[in-house]
Amino acid sequence: MSSLAALSSSHFNGGCLWKYQDELKVGKLRISVTSMASSSPTQSLEFRDGKANKLDKLRIGVLGASGYTGSEIIRLLRNHPHFQITLMTADRKAGQSIESVFPHLVTQDLPNLVAVKDADFSAVDAVFCCLPHGTTQEIIKSLPTNLKIVDLSADFRLQNIAEYEEWYGQPHKATALQKEAVYGLTEISRKEIQSARLVANPGCYPTSVQLPLIPLIKSNLIEVRNIIIDSKSGVSGAGRGAKEANLYTEIAEGIHSYGITRHRHVPEIEQGLSEAANSKVTVSFTPHLMPMSRGMQSTIYVEMAPGVTTQDLKDHLGNYYEHEEFVVLLNNKEVPHTRHVRGSNYCLMNVFPDRIHGRAIIISVIDNLVKGASGQALQNLNLMMGIPENLGLGCLPLFP
């Protein structure tokens, strides 16, 4: 049996960000946790009894590996020192090799795609569930209860079942599991995520909106009335399935709004903001589809509490996220661009004074497939496993 141990502090290159748990048993692996990890944890860990080998790694299943978020998990896990993919599922593409589905992954030594019904879950310790909402509940319900699960779909995000049924238009089929699920907005709910078995990974729009707003609402720096959110997403947000509305000819050379007043992310955003405010918060939220493959921006118009300035909002967000690796408040009047987070797990944000006295404009950007989905999911599984939260997430944005 192997254990993980932190190397000496000489390997640390700056502040210690991550605290290990004391000891963790996962499947066959016992992780003995002795110290803190630095901001370069991939270099600060080694197996105490020798080199890491395949059997020493945690065995990961990717359900929905033939989709966009599934392939993004595969890309990120390529650089993860302690997770190894041993199971990948698909639906229509079951039976195929990964390179036939995703030619960009031809260099990777990965198992073939199998149907969920044929999957051997005895050979996995944890799964990323990258399936459409609705199908996910029943599949997760049927999984062995010893598995750690990060669900990227919306099926376990809403605590109120009636609200789920209203916005998703179908009965919830795993209500007991819903009670167990922890909402995985990492920087806000880290403590709860660490001890969770099932994490409901947040939606991409809700991630970009809640990261700036929750700290401001918690500290009563903004009014909870009249919050207006204008969000824009790249087309990969709609998944890989073929849809007429997502054809090049329908998307290119223009933008359009959709889901006006009725987008499924409204209740999710309101749930998080209401919890922060300790009272019911409602928002105006309009998403837009942009002619780009990935990226997401939320432009949020807020009214500040009496006497509060935009500098106060900036100072608060700066302090709140000071020790966070993946959430960055930009300096001065620097404008967050989606092109500056492409392929990375960063959320960049900044606050600007509105021309109208007492109002501020907050802009946050993420890559919908990374911080908005698979990157945050990996951050969460790292936490659930008691290993440094940033493992596998070191890739810088791809620019230009």
Ligand X SMILES: CC(=O)N[C@@H](CCC(=O)OP(=O)(O)O)C(=O)O
Contact between 95 and ligand NDP (CB under 6 A)? Answer: no
83 binds, among ligand NDP, ligand X, none (CB under 5 to 8 A by kind): none
Residue among 345, 321, 340 at smallest CA distance from 79: 345
Residue 285 burial by CB count (10 A; 0-12/13-18/19+): exposed, middle or buried? buried
Q: Which of 133, 172, 316, 342 binds ligand NDP (CB under 6 A)?
A: 133
- Within residues 303-362, the interface with ligand X by CB under 6 A covers none
Q: Which of 85, 110, 130, 235 binds ligand NDP (CB under 6 A)?
A: 130
Contact between 269 and ligand NDP (CB under 6 A)? Answer: no
231 binds, among ligand X, ligand NDP, none (CB under 5 to 8 A by kind): none
- Cα distances (Å, whole numbers) of residue 304 to 125, 159, 310, 320, 330: 46, 29, 8, 18, 20
186 binds, among ligand NDP, ligand X, none (CB under 5 to 8 A by kind): none
- Within residues 217-256, the interface with ligand NDP by CB under 6 A covers 236-237, 239-241
Q: Which of 237, 272, 375, 392 binds ligand X (CB under 6 A)?
A: 237
Residues classed as catalytic: 204
Contact between 203 and ligand X (CB under 6 A)? Answer: yes
- Using the minimum distance from each CB to ligand NDP, give the nearer residue, 66 or 178: 66
Contact between 119 and ligand NDP (CB under 6 A)? Answer: no
Q: Are 349 and 330 in contact (CB under 8 A)?
A: yes
297 binds, among ligand X, ligand NDP, none (CB under 5 to 8 A by kind): none
Contact between 271 and ligand X (CB under 6 A)? Answer: no
Contact between 64 and ligand NDP (CB under 6 A)? Answer: yes
Q: Which of 186, 189, 233, 364 binds ligand X (CB under 6 A)?
A: 233
- Using the minimum distance from each CB to ligand NDP, give the nearer residue, 171 or 241: 241
Contact between 375 and ligand X (CB under 6 A)? Answer: no
CB of 252 to ligand X, least distance (A): 15
Q: Which stretch binds ligand NDP (CB under 6 A): 66-74, 268-276, 297-305, 341-349?
A: 66-74
289 binds, among ligand NDP, ligand X, none (CB under 5 to 8 A by kind): ligand X
For CA atoms 103, 105, 108, 110, give the dihedral sign: negative
Contact between 153 and ligand NDP (CB under 6 A)? Answer: yes
Contact between 133 and ligand X (CB under 6 A)? Answer: yes
Residue nearest ligand X, CB atom distance: 237
Q: Which residues of 184-198 are buried (b: 16+ CB within 10 A; e: fewer)?
A: bbbbbbeeebbebeb
CB of 237 to ligand X, least distance (A): 3
Structure tokens at 194: 């660490």
Q: Which of 287, 295, 388, 392 binds ligand X (CB under 6 A)?
A: 287
Interface contacts to ligand X, rule CB under 6 A: 133, 153-154, 203-204, 233, 237-238, 264-265, 287, 289
Interface contacts to ligand NDP, rule CB under 6 A: 64-70, 90-93, 116, 130-133, 135, 152-153, 203-204, 236-237, 239-241, 368-369, 372-373
